[in-house]
Amino acid sequence: MELLFRRMNAVAHWVLLLQCCLLAHAMLNPIDFLALQSIRKGLNDLPGSDYFASWDFTSDPCNFAGVFCDGDRVIAVNLGDPRAGSPGLTGRIDPAIGKLSALAELTIVPGRIYGTLPHTLSQLKYLRFLAISRNFISGEIPAGLGQLRGLQTIDLSFNQLTGSIPFPIGTLPALSNVILCHNRLTGSVPPFVSQTLTRLDLKHNGLSGSLPPLGLPPSLQYLSLSWNRLSGTVDRVLSRLNQLNYIDLSMNQFSGCIPANLFSFPISSLQLQRNQFSGPVQPVDQVKIPTVDLSFNRLSGEISPMFSTVQSLYLNNNRFTGQVPGSFVDRLLAANIQILYLQHNYLTGIEINPTVEIPLSSSLCLQYNCMVLPIQTPCPLKAGTEKSRPTSQCIEWRG
């Protein structure tokens, strides 16, 4: 009898507790309430952060810092203090995150979140914005993210993710931003079908293989694939991307020619250095791109005068031949060109008065070409100390 009485007391206690919770959280779906509790148990403030101070589960979770509700459902969770310099959070992301079935936005501020991304993220069918950057997330990107047809932004940059970029992610129709840079991803770049994709940032990974010829949509405005092991030709890929305003393919093994029409796109910075591009480079019109870096490739032929309108031009360490166009000298002396690096080529001359003074705001380097330098100008240390290329190399190249 006493045992029965104790059990009845215990049941009454839990019923009372549940009623209190229901009264306090009358506006919040109980599944969402329990999911937030699980998320909280998996995470903690780093020293100096008090983000979780407001997470008192005897009050309305819709008033928690970083929790946003629509009616009785949680629609956005921004974990951590978003102010600059905040120490962030530590711990693991609990799989219960997948129970927040109305969630449209999930962000976690930079901190020390570790472990893998829960596969339950694939249950968030309304998710539009996923940003968990600058933490210590490891393991693979869940292929199930490719089921989130409304996903627009995925930012998992600056983590320790491994494996390949899941092919299904490339099939998402609404993607506008894919930012997976500074991880340890391998494999190839999947084709992206979204016609609203504007930003693709995959730099500083271990990606390899060639780019699919039709795998990048013309809507792209920002493309960064630098510091990978990508190879193959890119002329068919790039010639379609006429809305680009930033492109960095440097530090790869791309080969073949650079499409001429690329130089007419509205680009502010063109970075193609340290690849294996070859052949002549012949822009159709005057190049209006402020910074063009084609250094450390295998480009050949004469330097086009169309490049004389570029403010910072790096053509060094290639196989260019012939005279430097006179239009370069004119613009250099007028201080319209800030950097003109032509060292380590096979150039045979430049018409410039040896007594002329290069403007202080401009830098010219002509070292290690097939000519006697008509003017002495300071060059970067990496250019070496030799002023001209050995005659034997120049004769052999001309031959």
pLDDT of residue 1: 38
Beta bridge partners of 293: 271, 314
Beta bridge partners of 112: 90
45 close to 80: Cβ distance less than 8 angstroms: no
Neighbour-count burial of 157, counting CB atoms closer than 10 A to its CB (0-12 exposed, 13-18 middle, 19+ buried):
buried
Q: What is the pLDDT of residues 221-268, one digit of tens each?
A: 999 999 999 999 999 999 999 999 999 999 999 999 999 999 999 999
167 close to 142: Cβ distance less than 8 angstroms: no
For residue 165, what is the DSSP state? P
Compute the distance between CA of residue 217 and CA of residue 194 in angstroms, rounded to an integer. Answer: 7
DSSP assignment of 265-309? S--SEEE--SSEEEE----SS----SEEE--SSEEEEEPPGGGGG
pLDDT of residue 83: 83
Q: 95: which residues sit within 8 A by CB, 6+ positions away?
A: 118, 119, 120
Q: Give me the helices (H) in 65-141, please.
A: none
76-80, 140-144, 380-384 — which is least confidently predicted? 380-384
Measured between its terminal Cα atoms, the distance across the chain in Å is 109
Sheet arrangement for strand 136-140:
43-45, 89-91, 112-116, 136-140, 160-162
94 close to 121: Cβ distance less than 8 angstroms: no
Compute the distance between CA of residue 343 and CA of residue 194 in angstroms, rounded to an integer. Answer: 42
For the chain, give the percent of residues with pLDDT over 70. 93
pTM of the model: 0.91
